[in-house]
Amino acid sequence: MDIKDNNKFYVIRNYTVEHLFLNLDYSFSEYASIDKKNIDSYNLLWFYQIPPAFGMEFNINEVNNFKHLLDIIINEVSFKKLILIPLELPENLNIIEEENLNLINAVNDFNSYLLSLQNDMNNVFFFDISEFKLENVKTKFDFKYFILSRAIISPIYTLEFKKWFSKKLASLNESKYKCLVLDLDNTLWSGVIGEDGVNNISVNGGYPGNCFEYFQQFLKNLSKKGIILTVVSKNNLDDIEELWAKRSDMVLEKSDFSEFEINWTNKADNILKISKSLNIGIDSMIFIDDSDSEIELVKKFLPEVTTFKFPKDPENVYDLIKELVNLFKRYNITKEDKKRNIYYKQNKLRKNNEIKFKDFNSFIKSLEISITAQKINPESYDRIFQLINKTNQFNLTSIRYNKSEFKDKTLSSEIFCIKVSDKFGDSGITGVALIDIHNDYINISNFILSCRILGKKIEDDFINFLVNYFKKKNFKKIKANYIASQKNLQTENFYKKSMFKSIESKSGNNLYELDLKNYQPKEYFNSFKYE
């Protein structure tokens, strides 16, 4: 499939649904038909429904046939993305009759099967159409339209359906946002601590404190999913420290935050400082403040930062939460994601420790870094996929894969990853190498490291491991690709420093080669093992 077709869908349906996707570049199957050519060319949307309940036996047989047709798609054809719309029971169903109960069971069993496909397959997604029904409580089915055009959902709901479906489709994309930057006064609590005092700010109970308690609960949940919480506030640090010590009724604790900038410096500078400290892009940050002037300042000097004003009327906080939910919505949350706040706190300890050492190598040795290499397995699959598609700085080709393409890559290539830990904690899976195997040589098609482990000679040890591993396998040469991008220029000379020679350079695509015949293995700088 061409890249331009990544968002193009082939809709497999048994009734008329074209009106629900007006102005979208979608194509449609014939009624209850499977065209393997189209299935193989596009992303898929399965949109089968059952007609009005005039013949229960017929409908039960139909539901049983649906599974057979879907299995053909699952088992025989490759595709990039498959979205499944579950069945809805006919609206005129009389649940008292025994036949109807049999239909209900058949529908429930089929929908359970759809859910199991989503759980078992990385490229399958379940869009629960009942959500659309809940949002639009009027009757969706109109027998007149069904008789005239076989439309299973009335055309009057076209706009509402498009909104719902577009929102669901957008949620499939991984959120780029990693960090929330939060003001304190009248944002995390009601009141101004410098004026009202530690004991008089409101964080729970009746209005308005209950609004801020609700907001803090939401932030707490985001933190558990790996979103980094930070604070930028114009306040006296001693007052805030007193609050964390005395106000045990706060939902959020001091430990929930990775960074604090509590001073009288302008907030744009403080946000930039946090970005550099965490080593994340400012375009991955969201700033929330109750002050119009602070919001405008950040917009002016850091336009890449997404900003939200905390509502003047706290009861409107739910509207803010809904917007944030959409921005942070993610389908796949890895173990590393959930521990992100911990990782950044550990990094801060490392930086504080670095100050004690004048010699950089001595500092690295003091960290007691341990690296474990292994081949891809079910446990590491999602995290490796995530690193490939989200890492920018130390990503030597910046080639991305959708889930179907990545599955194919795992079958055609050898994929290694590394787990890294030190005396401050476990960083998890933070490096990936994709290896294409040829007769007498291998090609490193991509080499990736998370930004949080850079600069500790880990990348040198990882490439050294790969060279030693394939030399022992009697390969004669190692080739490696580097494709320049705006964000990976810092890695431009990585292969040169690793003793590879440049053999080809064309349109930003660079090919390097290492002759293994006379290569002398290097010693590892850090502790390294292969499992």
Arithmetic mean of pLDDT, 326-349: 60
User: Does residue 446 register a pLDDT over 90?
Assistant: yes
Q: For the chain, how many residues are written? A: 531
pLDDT at 97: 59
* Helix orientation angle between 340-354 and 267-278, rounded to the nearest 10 degrees: 90
Cα–Cα distance, 239 to 435 (Å, whole number): 55
Asked if the model's pLDDT at residue 414 lies above 90, the reply is yes
Of all residues in the chain, the percent with pLDDT exceeding 90 is: 35
CB atoms within 10 A of CB 291: 16
CA 233 to each of CA 254, 341, 463: distance values in angstroms, whole numbers, following the listed order: 14, 20, 43
Beta-carbon contacts of residue 366 (< 8 Å; ≥ 6 apart):
353, 357
pLDDT higher than 50, residue 98 = yes
Which residues, in sequence order, are bridge partners of residue 230?
181, 259
C-alpha Rg value of the chain to the nearest Å: 28
In this predicted structure, what is the pLDDT of residue 464? 93
Band (276; pLDDT cuts 50, 70, 90): confident
User: Of the ranges 161-170, 264-273, 283-292, which one carries the lowest mean pLDDT score?
Assistant: 161-170
Confidence label for 367 from pLDDT (cuts 50, 70 and 90): confident
Query: 139 falls in which pLDDT band (50, 70, 90)?
Result: low
- Residue 232, classified by CB atoms within 10 Å of its CB into exposed (0-12), middle (13-18) or buried (19+), is buried
pLDDT for 451-479, tens place per residue? Answer: 778 778 899 999 999 999 999 999 999 99
Mind listing the pLDDT tens digit for each residue in 481-529?
Answer: 999 887 788 888 999 999 999 998 887 789 999 999 888 878 888 899 9
Closest CA to 521 of 504, 491, 499: 499
What pLDDT, on a 0 to 100 scale, did the predictor assign at position 120?
63
pLDDT band for position 444 (cuts 50, 70, 90): very high
d(CA 516, CA 476): 5
Beta bridge partners of 43: 9
pLDDT of 122 above 90: no
CB 271 within 8 Å of CB 282: yes
- 98: exposed, middle or buried (C-beta count within 10 Å: 0-12, 13-18, 19+)? exposed
Instruction: State residue 101's pLDDT score.
Output: 77
Give the model's pLDDT for residue 56: 72
Inform me whether the pLDDT recorded for 344 exceeds 80: no
Q: What is the mean pLDDT of the chain?
A: 83
Q: Are 85 and 47 in contact (CB under 8 A)?
A: yes
Please write the tens of the pLDDT for every residue from 231-243.
999 988 999 999 9
Strands 501-506 and 477-483: unpaired
Q: Which helix (H) or strand (E) holds 375?
A: strand 370-375
4, pLDDT greater than 50: no
**Residue 7's pLDDT band (cuts 50, 70, 90):** low
Name the band, by pLDDT with cuts 50, 70 and 90, for residue 3: very low
pLDDT at 230: 94
What pLDDT shows up at residue 45? Answer: 92
- Asked if pLDDT for residue 384 goes beyond 50, the answer is yes
**pLDDT value of position 506:** 83
Q: What is the average pLDDT across 210-215?
A: 94
Answer whether residue 337 shows pLDDT above 60: no
Most confident of 53-57, 102-106, 209-213, 358-362: 209-213
pLDDT number for residue 94: 52
For 2, which DSSP code?
Answer: -
Distance between alpha carbon 250 and the CA centroid of its chain, in Å? 29
Q: Using one digit for the tens of pLDDT, what is the confidence trace for 40-71?
A: 777 889 999 887 755 677 788 888 889 888 88
pTM summary value:
0.46
Greater confidence (38 vs 352) lies with: 38
- Lowest mean per-residue pLDDT among 23-32, 136-145, 333-342: 333-342
The pLDDT, as a whole number, for residue 2 is 31
Residue type, 18: E
Enumerate domains of the chain plus CATH numbers. 3-170 (3.40.50.1110), 179-331 (3.40.50.1000), 357-530 (3.40.630.30)
In this prediction, residues 182-200 reach a mean pLDDT of 91
**Whole-angstrom distance, CA of residue 152 vs CA of residue 143:** 9
**What pLDDT was estimated at residue 358?**
59
d(CA 243, CA 248) in angstroms, rounded, equals: 9
CA 484 to chain centre: 24
| Extended beta strands in 290-367, E state | 306-309
What's the Cα-to-Cα distance from 254 to each of 46, 188, 246, 250, 272, rounded to whole Å? 47, 12, 12, 10, 21
Range ranked top by mean pLDDT from 295-299, 393-397, 462-466 = 462-466
Contact assessment for residue 526 and residue 369, using Cβ atoms and an 8 Å cutoff: yes
Q: Give the position of tokens 């005039």.
A: 54
For residues 493 and 495, give the distance between their C-alpha atoms in angstroms, rounded to a whole number.
6
Phi, psi (deg, nearest 5) at residue 123? -105, 15
